[in-house]
């Protein structure tokens, strides 16, 4: 397999699987669309000019096979909830208020009416929870289920967030509570045991993740966020992308806080908290704020009922991306769920997935 570097050209005969998502973006999409306003951000900008009501933004994403299917869950409700969450999370990273979802369902002819209704219930309930609704879509038959949605939102005037805009010295905040999805996976694999009521709470958070729409809107309205991105593929690719968009490096702390329940799962499974926190699936945000704004940003988020913690600092580019455990700093080449690569998510065997996503098998 050939290796494509930042400077090497990409010929027409190179397979996308030889590139990976990051190289596809840089070598194929950026030369073609790099001049489009908002290119590379979580949401596209629809307005030609920003009006008095702010900018319109849109995002579109397909829903992969949810991890919950590997955890024994067959109810289509959770795929519907995840489809909405994936798209609303991109609006959160733009600081946008959701205006509506347009959904597209390709379903096998063997899908029952009851299964379809449960899928719709999941989408509708998630949309309602975030103050929006389905406003249109398309339905067709096909050999396999394919779920796609487009979310449209509006940003406050001058308040649209993107991946660029940060500077060296800015602090990185992790917005939301990480660790619940893979904590439940470890519980299913019996690598930890907790009282039934606590397990039920972890399961609820894992199966119905919340996009941080309220948090993104609040930070944008207060002018506190300099750059933002949702954690859809893991913490490392999120930090790497933010650094690339701003021409910076970063130092990330490994002492990330977890809520008590997932922290106890870590302890029993023999994992460090960082190993769980760096995984994907909880739909958190990483936000860059000025050092003097950290406490105010956390206060604003607390008022929204959203947890936030400082996880690192943006540094000059030449410093690269590193991990700081309080005693030493070393380069970070973390785990990325990158499309068109061996780590691209397609579901699979749960024990193997735990090894791949968490970095090593829990003992």
pLDDT above 90 for 38? no
The domain limits of the chain are 1-35, 41-154, 171-358
- Greater pLDDT, 170 or 33: 170
Q: How confident is the model at residue 341 (pLDDT cuts 50, 70, 90)?
A: confident
> pTM for this structure?
0.88
The confidence score (pLDDT) of residue 53 equals: 73
Q: How confident is the model at residue 85 (pLDDT cuts 50, 70, 90)?
A: very high
Strands of the 171-175 sheet, one edge to the other: 227-230, 285-289, 171-175, 308-316, 248-253, 321-324, 329-331
Q: Would you identify the CATH topology of the domain 41-154? A: 60s Ribosomal Protein L30; Chain: A; (3.30.1330)
Tell me: is residue 90 an annotated ligand-binding position.
yes
Tell me: is residue 61 an annotated ligand-binding position.
yes
Tell me: is residue 59 an annotated ligand-binding position.
yes
Tell me: is residue 332 an annotated ligand-binding position.
yes
Domains 41-154 and 171-358 share a fold: no
Q: Which of the listed CATH numbers 3.40.640.10, 3.50.50.60, 3.90.650.10, 3.40.50.300 matches domain 171-358? A: 3.90.650.10
The confidence score (pLDDT) of residue 43 equals: 72
The confidence score (pLDDT) of residue 4 equals: 46
The confidence score (pLDDT) of residue 50 equals: 54
Tell me: is residue 293 an annotated ligand-binding position.
no
pLDDT above 70 for 95? yes
Tell me: is residue 232 an annotated ligand-binding position.
yes
Tell me: is residue 345 an annotated ligand-binding position.
no
Q: Residue 175: beta bridge partners?
A: 285, 308
pLDDT above 90 for 184? yes
- Kind of pairing between the strands at 97-107 and 134-141: parallel
What's the pLDDT tens digit per position in 102-155? 999 898 989 999 999 999 999 999 999 999 999 888 888 889 999 999 999 999
Structure-token pair, residue 196: 């039934």
Tell me: is residue 75 an annotated ligand-binding position.
no
Tell me: is residue 230 an annotated ligand-binding position.
yes
Q: How far apart are CA 269 and CA 193, in angstroms?
A: 9
- Write down the residue that tokens 């590379």 correspond to: 40
Residue closest to 76 by CA, chosen among 138, 140, 122: 122
Tell me: is residue 138 an annotated ligand-binding position.
yes
Tell me: is residue 329 an annotated ligand-binding position.
no
Tell me: is residue 12 an annotated ligand-binding position.
no
- 107-116, 180-189, 297-306: range with lowest mean pLDDT: 107-116
């Amino acid at each position: 397999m050939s290796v494509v570097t930042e400077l090497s050209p990409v010929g027409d005969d190179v397979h996308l699987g030889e590139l990976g998502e990051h190289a596809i973006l840089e070598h194929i999409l950026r030369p073609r669309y790099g001049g489009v306003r908002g290119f590379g951000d979580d949401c596209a900008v629809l307005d030609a000019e920003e009006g008095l009501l702010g900018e319109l933004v849109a995002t579109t994403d397909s829903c992969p096979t949810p991890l919950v299917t590997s955890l024994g869950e067959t109810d289509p409700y959770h795929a519907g909830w995840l489809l909405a969450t994936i798209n609303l999370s991109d609006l959160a990273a733009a600081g946008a208020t959701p205006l509506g979802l347009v959904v597209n369902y390709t379903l096998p002819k063997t899908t029952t009416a009851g299964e379809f209704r449960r899928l719709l219930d999941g989408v509708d309930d998630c949309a309602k929870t975030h103050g929006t609704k389905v406003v249109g879509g398309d339905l067709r038959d096909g050999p396999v289920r394919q779920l796609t949605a487009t979310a449209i939102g509006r940003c406050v005037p001058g308040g649209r967030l993107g991946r660029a805009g940060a500077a060296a010295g800015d602090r990185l905040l992790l917005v939301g509570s990480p660790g619940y999805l893979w904590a439940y996976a470890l519980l299913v694999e019996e690598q930890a045991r907790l009282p039934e009521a606590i397990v039920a709470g972890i399961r609820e958070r894992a199966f119905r993740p919340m996009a941080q729409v309220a948090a993104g809107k609040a930070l944008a309205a207060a002018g506190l966020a300099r750059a933002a991105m949702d954690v859809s593929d893991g913490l490392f690719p999120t930090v790497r992308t933010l650094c690339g968009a701003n021409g910076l490096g970063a130092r990330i702390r490994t002492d990330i806080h977890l809520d008590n329940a997932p922290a106890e799962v870590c302890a029993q499974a023999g994992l460090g908290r960082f190993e769980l926190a760096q995984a994907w699936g909880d739909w958190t945000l990483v936000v860059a704020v000025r050092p003097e704004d950290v406490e105010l940003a956390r206060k604003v988020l607390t008022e929204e009922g959203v947890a936030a913690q400082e996880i690192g600092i943006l540094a000059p580019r030449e410093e690269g991306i590193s991990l700081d455990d309080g005693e030493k700093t070393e380069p970070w080449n973390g785990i990325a769920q990158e499309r068109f690569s061996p780590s691209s998510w397609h579901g699979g065997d749960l024990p193997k997935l735990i090894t791949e996503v968490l970095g090593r098998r829990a003992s």
